[in-house]
Structure 1
């Protein structure tokens, strides 16, 4: 009975829920989009912890899927301070950006970070999350919309 009750509530929430993510269109391939975002993150001194190629993993399992890559990144100092306010927010950290191949273009998505303040009761660091959200939007939009110049090209 408890399992049935939980399932009904869970499915009900799934049906009512709009995922708290922001989605962008990129005219670059999935690989180039993630390359550009990774480059922009590293330029800003953000730690890139991992890059996961879901398509490669699918192929290794004998399956076929569209191109899809996940970038995991963050700033340990900022993340630690958020987790000191509420340890449960650690499930959301480090941050992630996902890019996948769609019929017409590459899609890029990340969580809407503003929703974290309400979900985790973050009050002391609300401005920090707001700044993180603005920075994340800037990083993605700049990476997918402008040429990236390397040091060698700018000399």
Structure 2
């Protein structure tokens, strides 16, 4: 899933981080600034940040159903600047993850994860 942002990468990332911090059910686990990492190796890369976050009360039962899901959890949002200057926020659709790992797509937890991801993407992109 990819949504275009109304702001630059830094602002979009800060919006998501603030929303995660304000949500008692979510925790930010990592932030990867790929542009800075590339720069440290003398490579150029447009702004590209991945935020890793989750809720063990949702993720753990899903992994108990399909342990291979651990490769895709915790959840991630990619915020990046494209070649044309537009900024996008992308994430894996939980339905795709369910299919990939053989989970029952009717699992209510997947709906909760999907709602959280789309809400965070909306916050990041200025649509909420």
Q: Fold match, TM over 0.5?
A: yes
Counterparts of 1:2-151 in structure 2, within 5 Å, are 22-45=1-24, 46-102=26-82, 103-123=84-104, 126-145=107-126
CA separation in 2, counterparts of 1:66 and 1:140?
A: 20
Secondary structure of the residue aligned to 1:107 is: strand
Answer with 45-54 or 117-126: which moved more: 117-126
CA separation in 1, counterparts of 2:105 and 2:91?
A: 23
Secondary structure of the residue aligned to 1:114 is: helix
Query: What's the TM-score once normalised by structure 1's chain length?
Result: 0.75
Deviations 1:32-77 (A, max 9, x none): 1011011111211211001110000000011111011110000012
Specify which structure has the bigger relative contact order, considering alpha-carbon pairs within 8 angstroms and separated by 6 or more residues: 2
Distance 1:130 1:146, change over 3 A: closer
Q: Is the 8 Å Cα contact of residues 34 and 69 (structure 1) preserved in structure 2? A: yes
Gaps of 5+ in 2: none
Dislocated runs of 4+, deviation >4 Å: none
Gaps of 5+ in 1: 1-21, 148-155
Query: What's the TM-score once normalised by structure 2's chain length?
Result: 0.90
